[in-house]
Structure 1
């Protein structure tokens, strides 16, 4: 007969061995590296058998940290890609929406290379194809990866104005679909595209996901950490606050608001954006 102390020691050793085995198995399955403290996967090769992570992983990074995916809610992730501008790493946010039919992307990263990384990470982890992308205006941080998506036979939709401006700027031309059908379903998930008027750009739109009360504001909406307005080369400063007010009146119930750059938050971001733009207009 083993003493109680011996039995307790054996149990601890067995538990430790099991923990080590599970950790090793999950790391091998990920095809990359895991950081248990942050529930982060760093993808290098294509991961396999990731179902055991379901509901646990909240962040996925490319090995070069230039593309990061963060879980924002049920079936909604935020993709952030980085470009170096004047020595500064500038982030650009977009959305990943899981539907029964496949993945829908909102905005296409800075470049074809980053868009390729993004698609690889999505298909590797989520085990779903990207079936559609929506671009919210014709600037590099939204349009840069459109050619890369089209080359992968992914349909890219925009408004007619964005398609025209994209062509003028030398980008691949999206399918000008959204003016005629701003509300549509993909795999049982509803999308609503709204043009509130000029602001950050002539053509900026927002995208509403009613199932999750999620608003993707694009560059019309400023991040929680924004101290300046960013690129205003194509901005209509006089109309920008009014356009934000229209968004607030229509989607003020949003629980999650994702800006084009910086930290996301709730509907309070709309008020903050109005204040920042109005303050800039008054100085």
Structure 2
């Protein structure tokens, strides 16, 4: 049999095997992120996004006619949205497209314009990395992913694990391809460490960047303008507190972002405090207004100040 047919068959089989795992990851992400900010049609469309990673989502604010758009290749994103058309990129803690889109919607509501969300994906190497502790020990996840990708590539080359994109490499390529457009990076949990790893390869490109970390304390370069927000009840975040740069502790907040559950980190409210409400990121993200102390002293998510009624059913 032709080797290419064998490779296609092996990769298809691997993706079919990952189907239930991906469904489980989506279910977990639906609990720890605020998926209710996405419409049912958007959630249905996200279920069809490839689990292999390296996909970018363009997410508009709530109620915007921009909605949600899937961009399969970073090069296509740069061609369509480079040069400052979209200047904010977010990386979620969870590997699913649902987690990326939910975080993207929360950030888009804060900056009041569309943002790009990088889908980390859930391939064979990512699954092995998570099983070895990469889903908790964020600081080692990137190196573990490189190791498992190489090991799987050597042991089972037909599975194509070596072709799985590294999220940090995808983000670094995106920054290099659009050196003047992207100004704001937002990462939650492991996503913050993806940003930190990507910036390690961005010498001479850091000063114009503002980085906001949520639920993690990543070792960011000193040149960037860093805001690292962590809840005082966030056990996972404190376990990954590798730096005190830009640290702001949010009282009574945990690691998750689901505003329908107690202890959520209020992403939109905190970003508005940091960047200034109604700030045009396209003209000022590189030099944001000084964040008031209230950003670190928010006592509860937005819903505690006149909580909306959860949708029926």
TM-score, length of structure 2 as denominator length: 0.29
> RCO (CA 8 Å, sep 6+): is it higher in 1 or 2?
2
More strand per residue? 1
More helix per residue? 2
TM-score, length of structure 1 as denominator length: 0.31
